[in-house]
Amino acid sequence: MSTNSYLATGRSNQKQRTREHLLATARRLIESGDTPRVEDVAKESGISRTTAYRYFPTQADLLAAAFPETAAASLLPDPAPEGVDARVDAVVTALIDTIERTEHQQRAMLRLSLGEAPHELPLRQGRAIGWLEEALDPVRADLGEEAAHRLAVAIRSVCGIETRVWLRDIAHLDPDDVRDLQLWMARALLARTMEDPPPA
């Protein structure tokens, strides 16, 4: 039985409260630097392992549900800027803000994503690529679809949690320097691409 089916059968309000309690506990453990398993969350929540597994059959299911992924169709402000520089700045800044605000969850999902985890994990869904491609709309015709996509991928690579972890943990930059450098790298990629599009 799927998680959605289980929630829909009998005492759905109570089941929803139990699910939210498990997720709140998972987020609290993640905030402490842990990457909790289903059984860890069950024990900390005072809920049986059997019950917890009905809601979240795997650790990936649990962490994906706890992940603060936005369902936004766009990260551009309304109204959106016309110039591509301002559009890319807006999307990159929004991405960096989200990662800063939810860094513990992002790190937990990254750890799981690097293991033998399903491909539907939020970090592997590529939503940021679509948001960046939208930011590049003013130059898409000039660059071509493939070059615009490659640029979006390149920009995503410098403003995601992966780069933040390296800059914080390996390069030992403080948060403000990380933000400034990520934004500078995104701008540099855009400027360079306008002069010399990436290889197809």
Q: Which of 162, 68, 66, 159 is nearest to 107 (CA)?
A: 162
User: Is 3-66 a CATH 1.10.10 domain?
Assistant: yes
d(CA 38, CA 56) in angstroms, rounded, equals: 7
Q: Quick one: pLDDT at residue 64?
A: 75
pLDDT tens for each residue of 112-151? 777 655 545 555 556 889 999 999 999 999 999 999 999 9
Burial class (CB in 10 A: 0-12, 13-18, 19+), 154: middle
- Residue 122 backbone zone (phi > 0: left; psi -120 to 50: alpha; other: beta): alpha
In angstroms, rounded to a whole number, what is the distance separating the alpha carbons of residues 41 and 76? 36
| Beta carbons of 37 and 49 less than 8 angstroms apart | no
pTM over 0.85? The answer is no
> Which pLDDT tens digit goes with each residue over 53-109?
999 988 878 877 776 655 567 889 989 999 999 999 999 999 999 888 888 888 887
% the chain with pLDDT above 70:
84
Peptide bond into 79 cis (omega under 30): yes
Domain range annotation of the chain = 3-66, 84-195
Amino acid at 156: R
* Spatial distance between the Cα atoms of 44 and 21, rounded to a whole number of angstroms: 10
pLDDT, residue 8, reads 55
**Comparison of pLDDT for 2 and 175, the residue scoring more:** 175
Alpha carbons 109 and 129: distance in angstroms, whole number:
18
